[in-house]
Amino acid sequence: MRAFFFGLGFSAQASAQRLRQNTQFGTITGTVRTPEKADRLTNGGLDAVVFDGTAPGPDVAGTLRDCTHVVVSIAPDEEGDVVLRHHRAELDAMPDLQWLCYYSTVGVYGDFDGAWIDESAPLVPRNLRSDFRVKAEEEWIAYAKARGVPLCILRLAGIYGPGRSSFDRLADGTARRVIKPGQVFNRIHVADIARVTELAAMRRLAGIFNLADDEPAPPQDLITYAARKMGVEPPPEVPFERADMSPMARSFYRDNKRVSNAAIKKALGIELLYPDYRAGLDALWEARR
């Protein structure tokens, strides 16, 4: 098996590195936006070519052709999915394409006033970013059906991991405890994304699955917990109405729901490595120490 990742960002890099350690996989390649990042990743042992999403990547076709598995981790724009826009012909030309995976977001569901939902919930996104994701999912579903290839859509919750956690925000002074009564979010550790991607790729899993932790929680609880681990005072609580937030940050608080992960755990026969934020932060803290 040979895998190609469109968009070697935080989550996709973790998944690509996990596949590199799996002896059932050979070549692992992906795209980045700049030549400098391509050189940096290639020098670190992870092959990368340039595709910035505005035009076809000049080196994508030759690398993509011999791959068997494709993972897409690039956000769509108002015109739709950028991979299908620029590289549909190259995907069509792959002689041994066996599996497609698309990283989406739980933002496609919108707001459910804190209620539990699963993959059967209607999609009522509350912002343009999530609306673009719904349309991109539809594009990939149509493409996979026409191509006759299994497609796995992973709807990811809020992603955290090494270098991107409450510890890092406390350390750089950007952590805040914004209080909106009743507000909860699911999260997912990047290591769980990598593990699920690996298992799904090996089994050529098809379907739409939420990838979120077991315990949705108020965002301020993570900051308080991390501050206690660090032995520092947490930042003061700020009511949501008075919080100085960017429009994008504020938009996340429009969605309030508890996302079930039962389907992906049943499909793969697993439990998460980090089923709640405490387990995830504990592991990150030990690694930092």
Total count of domains within the chain? 1
Q: Each residue of 17-52: pLDDT tens digit?
A: 999 999 999 999 999 999 999 999 999 889 999 999
Q: What is the mean pLDDT of residues 133-158?
A: 98
Q: What is the mean pLDDT of residues 173-197?
A: 97
Please give the structure tokens belonging to residue 277.
Answer: 């934020």
Q: Is residue 227 part of a domain?
A: no
Q: Each residue of 50-86: pLDDT tens digit?
A: 999 999 999 999 999 999 999 999 999 999 999 999 9
For residue 231, give every residue at least 6 positions away whose Cβ sits within 8 Å of its Cβ, in sequence order, or none: none
Mean pLDDT in the chain? 96
Q: What pLDDT is stored for residue 45 in this prediction?
A: 87
Q: What pLDDT is stored for residue 178 in this prediction?
A: 96
Q: How many CB atoms lie within 10 A of CB 138?
A: 13
Q: Is residue 233 part of a domain?
A: no
Q: What pLDDT is stored for residue 289 in this prediction?
A: 82
DSSP 3-state assignment of 6? strand
Q: Each residue of 87-110: pLDDT tens digit?
A: 999 999 999 999 999 999 999 999
Q: What pLDDT is stored for residue 268 in this prediction?
A: 98
Q: What is the mean pLDDT of residues 228-249?
A: 94
Q: What pLDDT is stored for residue 136 in this prediction?
A: 98
Q: Is residue 110 part of a domain?
A: yes
Please give the structure tokens belonging to residue 38.
Answer: 């391509």
Q: What pLDDT is stored for residue 197 in this prediction?
A: 98
273: pLDDT confidence band, cut at 50, 70 and 90? very high
Angle (CA) 26 32 33, round 5°: 165
Q: Is residue 194 part of a domain?
A: yes
Q: Is residue 237 part of a domain?
A: no
CA atoms within 13 A on the CB side of 89: 6
Q: Is residue 241 part of a domain?
A: no
Which residues span the domain enclosing 151? 3-161+187-214+259-274
Question: Per-residue pLDDT for 249 more than 90?
Answer: no
Q: CATH number of the domain that 147 lies in?
A: 3.40.50.720
Q: What pLDDT is stored for residue 62 in this prediction?
A: 93
Q: Is residue 226 part of a domain?
A: no
Q: Is residue 171 part of a domain?
A: no
120: pLDDT confidence band, cut at 50, 70 and 90? very high
284, 167 Cβ separation under 8 angstroms: yes
